[in-house]
Amino acid sequence: MVIVFILSRLLLLILLFFGTFVYSAASIPILCYHRFGIEVKDSMTIKIQTFKSQLEWLRMNGYTVISLDTAARYIKGEVQSIPFKSIVITVDDGHKSVYIDMLPLIIKYKFPITLFIYPSAISNATYAMTWEQLRQLEETKLFQVESHTYWHPNFKKEKQKLSAEEYEKFVTIQLVKSKSVLEKKMGHSITYLAWSFGIYDDDLLKKAQSVGYEMAFSIDHKNAKSMEPMMAQPRYMIIEGYDLKRFESICSGKEDK
Ligand SMILES: [Zn+2]
Give 245 Cα–ligand 1 centroid separation in angstroms. Answer: 26
**Domain residue spans in the chain?**
29-251
Give 44 Cα–ligand 1 centroid separation in angstroms. Answer: 9
Q: How far apart are CA 114 and CA 92, in angstroms?
A: 9
Q: Would you state the pLDDT for residue 46?
A: 97
Give 92 Cα–ligand 1 centroid separation in angstroms. Answer: 5
Residue 255 CB coordination number (10 Å): 14
Nearest to 27 by CA among 68, 87, 89: 87
Residue 41 — pLDDT band, cuts 50, 70, 90?
confident
Give 94 Cα–ligand 1 centroid separation in angstroms. Answer: 9
Give 93 Cα–ligand 1 centroid separation in angstroms. Answer: 5
The one-letter amino acid code at 120 reads S
Domain 29-251 CATH assignment equals 3.50.50.100: no
Task: Tell me the angle at which helices 202-210 and 164-186 cross, rounded to the nearest 10 degrees.
Answer: 40
Nearest to 122 by CA among 179, 173, 182: 182
Give 86 Cα–ligand 1 centroid separation in angstroms. Answer: 24
Residue 61 — pLDDT band, cuts 50, 70, 90?
very high
Average pLDDT in the 167-178 region?
A: 98
Give 219 Cα–ligand 1 centroid separation in angstroms. Answer: 10
**Local structure of 235: helix, strand or coil:** coil
pTM, entire model: 0.90
Query: Half-sphere exposure of residue 146, counting CA atoms within 13 Å on the CB side?
Result: 25
